[in-house]
Amino acid sequence: MQTGRQYQQSDKKFNERILHLRRVSKKTTGGNYISFSALVVVGDGKGKVGLGLGRGLEVPPAIQKGITQAKKHMIQLPIFNDTLPHQILLKYKASRLLLKPAPPGTGLKVGGVVRTILDVAGVNNASGKIIGTRNQITNAYAVMEAIKRMKPRVVAQKKQEKVVEEKKVTPVVEKVVEVKKVKKVAKKS
């Protein structure tokens, strides 16, 4: 149940997808009170992604409320070579989530809502596993928590190049110290 559409506001394009849509019924004295709940993810494909849960008496207002909430709570995902910067294992409520970076050409080998969230965020290669719960709302919030905890990857080659360049730029001045040796001749008596 994934639908996507492009949304443009103030020169920013966001890709919106509905992750989960459900009909909620509550028993009251006069009968049933029916409302709708929509879990929506919004992303720009360059690392920014947001998740929103909207509720309304009809489906379109619920989706619109979810989109609004998702845009207010967008976070930045540090992407490294179209994949995740590092592996992460996270426990969030009842779900346990494992996300790993993957080599180019692998694709998204994750299930459920994780694939949709990473796709909207702009990650093209990743693998992972969801353990513990099948609740899509909990799993979606677990993915967002994992994204918040990810740190950008620093490439070691760049650091080494900078160090080498700094060593070349700063000349080393050596002081030459001359030591005079004095020989003592002992007199024999």
Residue 72: which CATH number? 3.30.230.10
Q: Is residue 182 part of a domain?
A: no
Q: How many domains does the chain have?
A: 1
Distances (CA, A) of 43 to 24, 39, 82: 27, 14, 15
Contact 114, 128 (CB under 8 A): yes
Q: Given the structure tokens 């029916």, which residue do they identify?
A: 34
Nearest alpha-carbon partner for 63 in 19, 108, 113: 19
pTM assigned to the model: 0.76
Q: Is residue 183 part of a domain?
A: no
Return the bridge partners of 119, or none.
Answer: none
Give pLDDT tens digits along the chain (189 positions): 555 655 545 447 899 999 999 999 999 999 999 999 999 999 999 999 999 999 999 999 999 999 999 999 999 999 999 999 999 999 999 999 999 999 999 999 999 899 999 999 999 999 999 999 999 999 999 999 999 999 998 877 655 555 545 545 444 455 555 656 556 666 665
How far apart CA 127 and CA 147 sit, in angstroms, is: 14
Helix (H, G, I), strand (E, B) or coil at 109: strand
Domain of residue 14 covers 4-149
Q: Is residue 189 part of a domain?
A: no
